A = this chain, B = another copy of it.
Amino acid sequence: MAKTYRRVVLATHPAGMPKASDVRIEEVAIPEPGEGQVLIRNIYLSIDPYMRGRMRDAESYAPPVKLGEVMVGGTVGQVVSSRHPRFAEGSFVNGMMGWQEYGLSDGKGLRLLDPAQAPISTALGVLGMPGMTAYFGFLDLCQPKAGETAVVSAAAGAVGGLVGQIAKIKGCRAVGIAGGGKKTRLIVDEYGFDAAIDYKSEQDLRAAVKRACPNGVDTYFDNVGGPVSDAVMLNLNLRARISVCGQISQYNSETPVMGPRMGWVILQKRARMEGFIVSDFAERWGEGMEQMSAWLREGKLKYREDITRGLDQALPALVGVLEGRNLGKQLVQLSDNPTR
């Protein structure tokens, strides 16, 4: 077994899009677990837009990552040595071990995975944080009804792709907004969306939304904010529900971004707009996992993974996600996956 491992720590708070010099790769000795601890070899690291927020020098959802600290992130790994009664050597676990090849855990927040039930990587996607984000953020906040039109932005992403498929399961017309033909084809041909809008190729986004949503927009699951959301807002139906999950178009801004004021739309359409974070639904996690697992087994949910290899690829992968270059759930593979 290796004696050292690599980890990525935050070197500076990025200005705008993160760059290589904002992080530092360190090589340190692999520790031994103490009493009640497990040592985990990480196999997959999840790359998610929220990570940009954690690199800021300001409180957001959660405390920011401090300079010199390991970057935060969800992981799937294998226990290599254990002094914890619940986690045997060789078992697979999902946790928040961060951007590193190995990590010690006291078991808190660690979840055992059964590779026979679903591929272990799904714990970072459809059966993990993105899956629960789509499930609760769409069903609870958007309250879709059969026959309604449900629009989602960043529709080819890990969350957006699931939102559209859940909308279909619920009998809605699912319309996705994504950037580029690869993504729009993916969500229509593979995920079964009714229509897709390539925001990069449209001159008049408002008109494009109108064409794709001839009966107007009843629910909007917003991952991006900015002009894409403006175009959707201008097509809302009366009593529309908007779930604000992300504002990825704004994450790299250092100053407030200006845009058309939308208060009058909220008023005129008596619309409801609500922000959330998936941890708000922590107590109902079991319900979401059970339903998403069932839909997955029934073949009603499809997903795609975009896997890059090596810890040094974590930052480029995050930049890729922020620039929308990934196709499906972005993962970084840190070591071999013995289950496949």
Interface residues of A (CB under 8 A from B): 60-61, 222, 225-226, 229, 244-247, 250, 256-261, 263-264, 266-277, 280
CA distance A277 to B271 in the complex (A): 11
A271's contact among B61, B268, B275, by CB below 8 Å, is which? Answer: B275
List B contacts of A261 (CB < 8 A): 225-226, 247, 250, 256-259
Q: Which residues of B contact A260 (CB under 8 A)?
A: 256-259
Structural contact, B273 and A268, CB atoms closer than 8 A:
no
Inter-chain CA distance A272–B244, complex, in Å, is 10
Nearest-CB distance from A284 to chain B (Å)? 15
| Interface pair B270/A277, CB less than 8 Å apart | yes
Decide yes or no: A270 and B264 within 8 Å by CB, A258-B258, A259-B258, A259-B259 being known contacts.
no
Give the CA-CA distance A276 to B225 in the complex, in Å.
Answer: 23
The listed residue (B229, B257, B263, B277) touching A225 by CB distance below 8 A is B263
Residue from the list B259, B271, B274 in contact with A266, Cβ < 8 A: B274
Contacts of A277 in B (CB 8 A): 270
Bound complex: CA of A248 vs CA of B111, how far in Å? 52
Kindly state the separation between the CA atoms of A256 and B226 in the bound complex, as whole angstroms. 15
CB distance from A229 to the nearest CB of B (A): 7
Nearest CB to that of A265 among chain B residues? B275
CB distance from A223 to the nearest CB of B (A): 10
Known A273-B272, A274-B271, A275-B271; contact A264-B225, beta-carbon cutoff 8 A: yes
16 additional contacts (CB under 8 A) given A258-B258, A272-B272: A222-B263, A225-B261, A225-B264, A229-B263, A246-B267, A247-B263, A247-B264, A250-B261, A256-B261, A258-B259, A266-B275, A270-B275, A271-B275, A272-B273, A273-B273, A273-B274
Picked from B226, B266, B280, the residue with its CB within 8 Å of the CB of A244 is B266
With A225-B261, A250-B264, A257-B261 given, is the CB distance from A272 to B274 under 8 Å?
yes
CA distance A79 to B194 in the complex (A): 58
